[in-house]
Structure 1
């Protein structure tokens, strides 16, 4: 009876936002602006997605049950998951931001985070869920999926399906012959530097990203080839300047699936997901032609996102296997200071192969998605932090830099082995 009363008391503290050390996942039914996010309605899932201005009361439901909104192809888990250990007590990092010292509890109480997990090596140090989400929910990636697509490019090259990243896209996707994207080398597509005009800035209806998204997942969707043919004006030569464009990842997804003669989800399953020892099936949204939407719309549990991050932190090795070629990952996550691939998101940040490279001499990188999705990786310490969130603004949220402050504090305090 005493134990039950103590558990009830701890649950009440967690609900009210108190921070305390314990072992195991922590769950809360609430979060910042919980009522506006649909708490009293059970965080509902809409009958169809509303891009780009998804109603706030539908965001939590959509971002954790995307498979109820769009058709998806399953990425099956293996028979046996890999083991993730758990620290005896969860960490309680502190960080400085906005002129004062804060705790990770302060962060959760002021940011619309659905899940936050920190791990090092093979050990979970912190795992919290908000807005009634659980460790069984498969949480949406948004553009974190771009890095997964680039990993598959690297594996396809190692297996000979793709001969060279200096080949053009039309080499593998003949339907793109005669188009600017078809004439673009894969290297430029990997680096978001095709030179093809594509606007992806505000995620408002006049942005090209919304036209592309509707052409793939809208009610009158036409599929990837037809969708990409909308964008056929070149502004610059390939490999000369960065211009973030989800369309470039979509081209890469087509290249991989054609080169390996199987759907992206199936290739991901046998080459990465099952080798990771994922504990749950994942899924990837598909367009009307059955092609995966390569730039987004992949769903997985938070611990499986962590497994992916820990594999990346180990330069492609996990569960006793080299899953992604080590040299590919080094090339993908390293940019020289004088390269045009620097100065992307902010001064001195970089862009690799569909991945953001963080500033500083220490090699750290970030899988980044709109509305607050992020998977931070520090190969030196084998430390990762994965966050899923429901920020109302797709990009440009004034609070979003606080995640970086938290991450750098976590590395400083726990980035040792």
Structure 2
């Protein structure tokens, strides 16, 4: 336990004594503030527990027995660039674990029930600078780097905002070909950067995760060896079905192009730009990694890897609208624009873009009067953010299905309960 945790525990126990509460159970709960680790989890043997959660190959990584290792050691399966950590880590404070209840399908459940029902590898809840809950399952540890999948898309969008503020990108209304000249003459090359941020290029791209769709083709191009250059791969998707910024349609190719814009505009690898502009500035405790293709370009629609607490630090930065302890890291207005639907963009609103979520700059928007948003990746990778209460929930998982709406609905129910129960008085 770190000194912050000891201090919180001692103060809390003194308060208990002053109030006359001497429950041994309560004292044990307070003294246990800190990460909790389990060697098991939901259906653990199916996930390879009896084999020590074996690491497979890229070709076999999606097999159920390999998923735990794939999603916590992906950067051992494919080349990656290092995203350097901070010289000195910024430390969260800790508080005793709260009791969290949520309702789902007419049942009242606890957060422990949730972990027993879902293949969650890591779950962390923080309120501003204090970790309230941090659990790991399937023998994962605080030192494991968890695979982001499409949560990386939001990181990419935040870097676009920084590059624009730096003057590297003159305007997000510039066409892609202004920066990525290899795409001149293609439909993507004629698309404004803003439309890519909104996943609204109007270029046809199929992403249904059946192994035969366009995202599978893009993945084979980029992760195959020697593979195709990313500019060549995305140029093959060249049929326009709608004008830019008029219709939302999820397409990972659009984030891949944003990564190409970043590299061209900044003259630096995306991993280096992230380390310099965000990762070191928020006091990260561990190096992160970002998988690269055969040309050395980061695969920016996915494949970022970081420890759970550093994901929480990034979530805290977003909760503060880009400000870290008084210092603006991401332009505040960019973050507000990224997480707000303009009156002229109603096609991006929650319930319109999708049946539930809306969409901003590569980030999912939750319905309701409050501004809340979430980073999402397939198989259950999520970072929920509530700027009003500064609550953040980081969730990593190994769901068998790439997209599981029922499982996600339960996670959302848990998050809404977290905000309701832990956000009181924090607004």
* TM bin (shorter chain): over 0.9
Moved over 6 A (4+): none
2:170 paired with 1:163: yes
Of 52, 61, 70, 1:42 maps to: 52
Of 195, 201, 206, 1:188 maps to: 195
* CA displacement 1:14-37 (0-9 Å, x = unmatched): xxxxx9663000000000110010
Number of the residue aligned with 1:408: 416
Contact persistence 2:225–2:294 (CA under 8 A): no
Give the SS at the match of 2:280: helix
Contact persistence 1:275–1:321 (CA under 8 A): no
2:233 paired with 1:227: yes
Number of the residue aligned with 2:73: 65
Q: Distance in 2 between matches of 1:179 and 1:188?
A: 15
Give the SS at the match of 1:384: strand
Q: Distance in 2 between matches of 1:179 and 1:168?
A: 11
Number of the residue aligned with 1:208: 214
Give the SS at the match of 2:239: coil
2:262 paired with 1:256: yes
Of 26, 32, 38, 1:28 maps to: 38
Unaligned runs of 5+ in 2: 1-27
* CA displacement 1:124-178 (0-9 Å, x = unmatched): 0000000000000000000000000000000000000000010011100000101
Q: CA deviation at 1:311?
A: 0.5
Q: Distance in 1 between matches of 2:36 and 2:60?
A: 31
Contact persistence 1:391–1:397 (CA under 8 A): no
Closer/same/farther in 2, CA of residues 49 and 307 from structure 1, 3 Å limit: farther
Closer/same/farther in 2, CA of residues 393 and 348 from structure 1, 3 Å limit: closer
Of 220, 223, 232, 1:217 maps to: 223
Q: CA deviation at 1:349?
A: 2.6
Q: CA deviation at 1:98?
A: 1.4
Number of the residue aligned with 1:12: none
* CA displacement 1:377-412 (0-9 Å, x = unmatched): 000000000000000000134322100000000000
Mapping of residues 232-381 of structure 1, within 5 Å: 232-336=238-342, 339-342=346-349, 343=351, 346-347=354-355, 349-381=357-389
If the length of structure 2 is used for normalisation, what is the TM-score?
Answer: 0.90
* CA displacement 1:25-83 (0-9 Å, x = unmatched): 000000011001000111111133447xx100010001100111110000011110112
Number of the residue aligned with 1:113: 120
Q: Distance in 1 between matches of 2:57 and 2:169?
A: 39
| Superposition RMSD in Å | 1.5
Number of the residue aligned with 1:10: none
Number of the residue aligned with 2:4: none
Closer/same/farther in 2, CA of residues 47 and 205 from structure 1, 3 Å limit: closer
Q: Distance in 1 between matches of 2:215 and 2:147?
A: 18
Q: Distance in 1 between matches of 2:180 and 2:272?
A: 19
Unaligned runs of 5+ in 1: 1-18
If the length of structure 1 is used for normalisation, what is the TM-score?
Answer: 0.92
